[in-house]
Amino acid sequence: MTTTIIWVAVAVVAVGLYLSWTAGRLDRLHARIDAARAALDAQLLRRASVAQELATAGVLDPAASIVLYEAAHGARQAEPDQREVAESELSQALRAVFADGETVTEVREAPGGTAAVGELTQAVRRVPMARRFHNDAVRAARAVRDHRVVRWLRLAGHAPFPMAFEMDDEPPGALTADGGATAVR
């Protein structure tokens, strides 16, 4: 009788430890998602700010300036549920404005243009990396949350279901073609 009680107690403790470890892991994954989302938001804001500064600097032709400014402003002012669309539109505007190397060369020749192009190049390169880190964290949390035990015992608590950030983040070819040799570090 005592041996059975000891084995039951060991089993209960083992299950409790497993559940505690799983809940802690989920909590760490949600914290990782929050940190990755903050980093992604910072990179998106940086990209929109640099694009807006470049649009108002007077180094682009008026039509390109308007297109770029409107897309950057829309990305900065977008509501959370429209953010992915607005950021995709900014990516498309950047590709349209910097479709060829001539525009990049013209901007570089303007006073302070080399620094502006370098900063924009860094910004458009960092956005896909930040989005990838965020989406990887979301994928890992979803995998843990999909386990039956986690769902049945509600180990995720009241944390919202993690959502990936899907957007068009392809950088303009003319900005990334030089390998970032002019990027400001």
Residue type, 2: T
Out of 31-35, 60-64, 139-143, which region has the weakest mean confidence (pLDDT)? 60-64
Instruction: Please write the tens of the pLDDT for every residue from 15-49.
Output: 999 988 988 899 999 999 999 999 999 999 999 99
Task: Confirm if 176 and 64 have CB atoms less than 8 A apart.
Answer: no
Predicted TM-score (pTM) of this structure: 0.84
Q: Which of 60-74, 138-152, 168-182 has the lowest mean pLDDT?
A: 168-182
**Could you report the per-residue pLDDT of 81-128, keeping only the tens digit for each?**
999 999 999 999 999 998 888 888 888 888 888 888 899 999 999 999
C-alpha–C-alpha distance, residues 129 and 145, integer Å: 24
Which pLDDT does position 178 carry in this prediction? 57
Query: Where do the domains of the chain lie?
Result: 2-176
From the list 29, 50, 44, the residue with the least C-alpha distance to 128 is: 44
Position 102: which residue type?
A: E
